[in-house]
């Protein structure tokens, strides 16, 4: 990383084309990943990612430079996805949700491939707020503080949602026999 976010933003505000390119390159993967997970639609995710960056650059003057930039951008992405989901639910035409599961780069065995596909659909089926914190934590590697800023909720709520998301995924993988049920002992109730 050559330029820190605050300096990059200052250059962007001056209309520096290189700075705009660097900022987009730095964060478009996070934004797109979030959009794919929340919208479950490739084309919608691309459109919303572009829309998110237009909003980011339009409101860059309002960014508080004492706070990290990434949660701020991700927060805008989450809001745009929610708005988009609201609009899409009111559209009469049916939406072709993302069918094909993404394949992890180092996956070869059929069993592992199946586990990878199952965990993806488990994530997709989480309720929206659980899915958001899950993706931010496990896919994007963000910390609790940053997630709390992005979704504008207390850290305690983030931890609770994240824990519930993990438990739901784990239960689903167990039901499908993709993780060993033997580890569960009949000692106490869930």
- Shortest Cβ distance from residue 6 to other proteins (Å)? 19
Q: What is the DSSP letter of 185?
A: -
**Residue closest to 107 by CA, chosen among 98, 99, 115:** 115
CB of 93 to other proteins, least distance (A): 23
**For other proteins, the closer CB: 57 or 68:** 57
Q: Which of 123, 130, 135 is nearest to 158 (CA)?
A: 130
Nearest CB to other proteins, comparing residues 63 and 144: 144
Q: Give CA–CA dist 179/173, Å, rounded.
A: 6
Distance CA 93, CA 132 (A): 26
Residue 23, class by beta-carbon neighbours within 10 Å (0-12 exposed, 13-18 middle, 19+ buried)? Answer: buried
List of residues contacting other proteins (CB under 8 A) = 15, 17, 20-21, 24-25, 28-29, 32-33, 36-37, 42, 45-46, 49-50, 53-54, 57-58, 102-105, 107, 112, 115-116, 119-120, 123, 138-140, 144, 159, 163, 166-167, 169-170, 173, 178-180, 183-185, 187-190
In this structure, which long-range contacts are made by residues 50-58, counting pairs with CB atoms below 8 Å and at least 24 apart in sequence?
51/80, 52/76, 52/77, 52/80, 53/24, 53/28, 55/80, 57/12, 57/20
Shortest spacing between CB 86 and other proteins, in angstroms: 22
Q: Closest approach of Cβ 92 to other proteins, in Å?
A: 27
7/102 with CB nearer other proteins: 102
**Shortest distance (Å) from residue 87 CB to other proteins:** 19
CB nearer to other proteins: pick between 79 and 178 = 178
Contact, 105 vs 181, CB < 8 A? no
The smaller minimum CB distance to other proteins, of residues 132 and 140, is found at 140
């Amino acid at each position: 990383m050559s330029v820190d976010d605050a300096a990059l933003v200052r250059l962007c505000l001056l209309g520096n084309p290189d700075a705009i390119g660097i900022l987009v390159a730095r964060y478009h993967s996070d934004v797109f990943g979030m959009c794919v997970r929340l919208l479950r639609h490739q084309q919608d995710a691309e459109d919303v990612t572009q829309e998110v960056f237009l909003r980011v650059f339009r409101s860059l003057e309002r960014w508080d430079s004492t706070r990290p930039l990434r949660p701020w951008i991700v927060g805008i992405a989450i809001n745009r996805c929610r708005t988009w989901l609201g609009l899409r639910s009111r559209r009469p035409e049916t939406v072709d949700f993302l069918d094909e599961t993404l394949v992890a780069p180092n996956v070869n065995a059929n069993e592992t491939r199946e586990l990878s596909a199952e965990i993806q659909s488990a994530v997709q089926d989480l309720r929206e707020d659980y899915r958001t914190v899950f993706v931010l934590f496990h896919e994007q590697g963000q910390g609790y503080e940053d997630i709390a800023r992005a979704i504008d909720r207390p850290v305690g709520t983030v931890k609770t949602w994240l824990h519930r998301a993990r438990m739901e995924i784990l239960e689903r993988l167990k039901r499908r026999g993709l993780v060993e049920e033997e580890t569960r002992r009949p000692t106490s109730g869930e």
